[in-house]
Amino acid sequence: MSKMPYSEPWRIKMVEPLKTLSREQRVAKIAAAEYNLFNLAAEDVYIDLLTDSGTGAMSDRQWSALMMGDESYAGSRSFLRMKETIGELLGFPYVLPTHQGRAAENVLFSATIKEGDIIPGNAHFDTTKGHIEYRKAIPVDCTIEIEEAISATYPFKGNIDTQKLEATIAKYGAERIPMVIHTVTCNTGGGQPVSMQNLSDVAAICKKHGIPLYFDSARFAENAYFIKMREQGYQDKSIKEIVKEMFSYADGMTMSAKKDAIINIGGFIALKDENLYRECCTYSIIFEGFVTYGGMSGRDMEALSSGLMESTEFDYLEARISQVEYLGKLIKELGIPIVEPVGGHAVYVDAKAFFPQIPQTQYPAQVLGVALYEEAGVRGVEIGTVLADRDPVSRQERPPKLELLRLAIPRRVYTDNHIQVIAWGLGEIWKKRESYTGLKITWEAPIMRHFTARFAKL
Ligand SMILES: *Cc1c(COP(=O)(O)O)cnc(C)c1O
C-alpha cells in the first residue's frame, strides 16, 4: 500500500472572498504604488505572502475561546489559563504576556542587557538585533558555516556552531555575555531548523560558563516537527514531548504568538527564574501593562492558549509544512532556483540566478516581486539589496550575498490550488525572464528604506 497523501486536518467553515483584478489593472496598481509592494492596498492582492506573522486563520475552538475572554485588569482567568498552558506545554512557571514578540524582547532585554554586552546567537531576527543594538550591545552571529550549510541535504541549517560560540565566549569573556539567544526555527533561508542535539550542546556550553540561554521561539512547533522528521531517536515521540524536551534546555523564552500560536496579535516571555521574572515585571508595567495582561486582551490570551495546543499537533504541522514543501517542489520542477532545503514557513526564490542580466544595484529580487504581482496578483517580499539598506557611513549600497524573493505562507489560509497559482505565475515570468530589466530608486528613507522606497522601471 502506498502512503496516504498529506491533507489538512480541518475543513473550511467560513470563507473570505478575494478580489481578482485583471493583469492590466494590476500593472496599473503596482505602477501607482511606485513598484513598492508595501504600498499596495491589501485588497488589490490576490494571494498575500508578505508574511506568515499574524496572518493565520484561527480555528472554531479559538474563535469560541474569544467569547470566554476575561477582561479583568488583574488576575484575569484568561491569563491563568495561558500561564497554565505554557507551564504544561513548555515547562516554564513564570509568564508575562506582551503585545507581540518584539515587546517581549524589549521587556526581557531591559532587565538583562547593558551597553557593551555581547549577545551570541544564530542569525538574530531583525527586531531582536534592533533591541540589542539599541542598547549599544553587540549581536554575534554564530550560525554554522554556509559552506557546510549550503548542501541541499543538510537537515539543520539553523544550528549554532559550538566552536564559534566557545571562541566568542573566550574572546569576550562570559562576564560580558548576559545571554545566548537560540532562534527556533532560525530565519536564515526561511525557517531553517535547529536540532535537539544542538540545543543540548549549546545549553551545556552556556551552563559551563554560567550564561543563561534563551530561545527566540516564534516557530518552535515547526522546529519540533523537523526534529521528529529528521533527527535520530525522535520519530516515535509526539510533538508535545519534543517541545517539552526542547525547552528543558532553555532558561527562558520570548515568543511572537503571531506565528506558532496562530493568533493575529500577541506574545509573551516565559522564565524559570523567579528573580528575573520579578525584574521583568517592572519593565512589563512600564512598557506593556499590568503583569497579567501586558498588552493583550483577555480574549486574545484565550485564543493564544488554544492556538498553542493546536499548533503542537502533528497533523496540523504535517499539513502546514508539507504545503510549504509543495510550493518549493512546484517551483523547482520549473527549473527555478530556490534556497534548499525549504524551511518551515517560506520558500525563497534566488533572484540573482533568476535574472542574471540585472545587477544587484538594480534590485533583481524587487523586480521579481513586482513581476509576480503583475503576473498572478501574488505579493512576496524582497530580502535583498533594498532590505540591506545603505552603509550608514559611506552611504554606498551594500548588496548581500543572497538576493531573494521570500514567499511566506500564512497558516491554514490558502489551499493547494492557490499554491499552484503562485508556481504558475513564477513559471510564466521564467519563460520570458530575459526580457526583464532593473529598477532604480527615486526616493528612499535614510534607514529601513524598504517599507517606503519609491522605484521606477529602467
Ligand atoms: C516575528 C518574530 C519576532 C518579532 O515578533 P513580532 O511579533 O513581530 O514583534 C522575533 N523573533 C522571531 C524569530 C520572529 O519570527
DSSP notation for 407-442: EEPPTT---HHHHHHHHHHHHHHHHTGGG---EEEE
307 and 318 belong to one structural domain = no
Answer whether 65's CB lies under 8 Å from 302's CB: yes
The predicted pLDDT at position 206 comes to 98
β-strand pairing of 118-121 with 213-216 = unpaired
Whether ligand 1 lies within 6 angstroms of the CB of 101 is answered as: yes
Number of folded domains in the chain?
Answer: 2
The verdict on 191 and 125 lying in the same domain is yes
And the C-alpha cell for 26? Answer: 494590476
Residue 100 Cα: closest atom of ligand 1: 7
Over residues 294-305, mean pLDDT: 98
Nearest residue (CA) to ligand 1, atom 10? 101
* Total count of residues recorded for the chain: 458
Are 222 and 179 part of one and the same domain?
yes
Instruction: With 0.75 as the threshold, say if the pTM is over it.
Output: yes
- Choice from 52, 53, 55, 383 to test ligand 1 binding pocket (greatest atom count within 8 A of CB): 53
Are both 406 and 306 inside the same structural domain? Answer: no
Same domain, 66 and 39: no
Asked if 163 and 267 sit in the same domain, the reply is: yes
Q: Which has the minimum average pLDDT: 105-109, 229-233, 447-451?
A: 447-451
Mutate to test the pocket of ligand 1, among 102, 141, 187, 262 (most ligand atoms within 8 A of CB): 102
Q: Which protein residue's CA is at the shortest distance from atom 8 of ligand 1?
A: 101
DSSP three-state, residue 299: helix
Task: Based on the fold, state whether residues 248 and 395 are members of the same structural domain.
Answer: no
Residue 29: per-residue pLDDT: 98
Report the catalytic residues. Answer: 73, 125-126, 216, 218, 259, 450
Give the pLDDT band of residue 372 (cuts 50, 70, 90).
very high
Classified as helix, coil or strand, 308 is helix
Residues 38 and 146 placed together within one structural domain of the fold: no
Q: Is 217 in the pocket of ligand 1 (CB under 6 A)?
A: no
Q: Give the DSSP letter of residue 4.
A: P
Rounded Cα distance, 3 and 66, in Å? 38
d(CA 323, CA 253): 28
Q: Measured from the CB, is residue 260 less than 6 Å from ligand 1?
A: no
59: nearest Cα among 12, 18, 6: 12
CATH code, domain carrying 404: 3.90.1150.10
Domain region containing 31? 23-52+314-457
14 inside domain = no
**Same structural domain for residues 169 and 305?**
yes
pLDDT level of residue 333 (50, 70, 90 thresholds): very high
Cα-to-centroid distance, 111 and ligand 1 (Å): 19
Mean pLDDT over all residues of the chain?
Answer: 96
User: Does residue 68 carry a pLDDT above 70?
Assistant: yes
Whether residue 301 sits in one domain with residue 285:
yes
In a domain, 11, yes or no: no
- On whether both 80 and 221 belong to a single domain, the answer is yes
Q: What is the CATH number of the domain that holds 177?
A: 3.40.640.10
